[in-house]
Amino acid sequence: MRNKSAIHLRISATQQKMGAAAAKLGAQCIRHALQRKGRANIIVATGASQFAMIDHLTAQSGIDWTRVTAFHLDEYVGVPITHPASFRKYLWERFVSKLPLPLAAFHYINGEQNAPAECRRVGTILRQHPIDVCFAGIGENGHLAFNDPPADFQTHTPYLVVQLDEACRRQQMGEGWFKTLAQVPRRAISMSVQQIMKSKVVICTVPDRRKAKAVRDCLKGKISPLHPSSILQKHPSTWCFLDRASASLL
């Protein structure tokens, strides 16, 4: 049986307008959490799809970032923070260092040494910080974070060590993070699907025609581990921001 999606879709003419709209809603959600409970907890996504959204989010006014605690979705295993593809490096350069005030904390994932131990460490911290806003994307293979198909829809462990499939690894190379496929790691630390689903609001930003099939399969097709982001159809408050290219097959 086909599932009726509860996802709110917003389609913009350009990537910049898409990013601005996603950031505006995200900022509103953060402000609301701050007003309601005096603090906010967020998850910040990475990758080329998030460039415009993050640029606009860091420019939002009226947010006391000193009361915001942040986490990230995933990180490669074995990649040092100095590597151009490091998500820690990405988040420092594009998000943390651009904020007008320092965050209460940013809990970076370090995948350089003992990945299972790092999953336990950051997972313990995350359990103490219920997420108000999760910023996310959808991969070319439909992955959510680094949960490639067939994704684990069952485990509630906050972070997992996962195997990256070839389609995912080719996407990382295609976006210019690595020069060759052989350089792309085969493992990563990823936030689990069920942990992402615990977020109060999910803001999913997905530009580019190369994502159009994944967008159609995940947002309009059956909910299936073969299309990991399709599980967002079950989330009570997911907003998906697309540009015309990524929405072209809807």
- Note the pLDDT tens digit of each residue in 206-236: 999 999 999 999 999 999 999 999 999 999 9
- The pLDDT value recorded for residue 2 is 40
Instruction: Tell me which residue of 159, 156, 217 sits closest to 187, measured CA to CA.
Output: 159
C-alpha 206/C-alpha 124 separation (Å) is 30
Q: Helix or strand or coil: residue 143? A: coil
Answer whether residue 219 is part of any domain. no
For the residues 35-58, what does the mean pLDDT come to?
97
Mean pLDDT value across the chain? 96
CATH code of residue 182: 3.40.50.1360
Answer whether residue 5 is part of any domain. no
Write down how long the chain is: 250
Answer whether residue 46 is part of any domain. yes
Answer whether residue 157 is part of any domain. yes
C-alpha 230/C-alpha 138 separation (Å) is 10
Model confidence at 20: pLDDT above 90: yes
Q: At what angle do helices 87-94 and 51-58 cross, to 10 degrees?
A: 40
Answer whether residue 250 is part of any domain. no
pLDDT digit string (tens) for 86-119? 999 999 999 999 999 999 999 999 999 999 999 9
For the residues 34-49, what does the mean pLDDT come to?
96
Answer whether residue 2 is part of any domain. no
Instruction: Tell me which residue of 94, 12, 102, 14 sits closest to 54, measured CA to CA.
Output: 94
Q: pTM for this one? A: 0.94
User: What percent of the chain has a predicted confidence (pLDDT) above 90?
Assistant: 98
Token couple for 116? 């299972």
The total of structural domains in the chain comes to 1
C-alpha 82/C-alpha 112 separation (Å) is 11
Q: At what angle do helices 15-37 and 51-58 cross, to 10 degrees?
A: 50
CA angle 85, 136, 158 (to 5 degrees): 85
Binning pLDDT at 50, 70 and 90, where does residue 53 land? very high
By residue range, what is the domain housing residue 152?
Answer: 11-209+224-243
- The pLDDT value recorded for residue 5 is 57
- The pLDDT value recorded for residue 6 is 79
Answer whether residue 81 is part of any domain. yes
Answer whether residue 17 is part of any domain. yes
For the residues 5-15, what does the mean pLDDT come to?
91
What separation in angstroms does the CA of 217 have from each of 18, 137, 159, 223?
Answer: 20, 14, 25, 9
Question: Which residue's structure tokens are 């915001």?
Answer: 68
Instruction: Tell me which residue of 42, 36, 72 sits closest to 57, measured CA to CA.
Output: 42
- Residue type at 38 in one-letter notation: G
Binning pLDDT at 50, 70 and 90, where does residue 1 land? very low
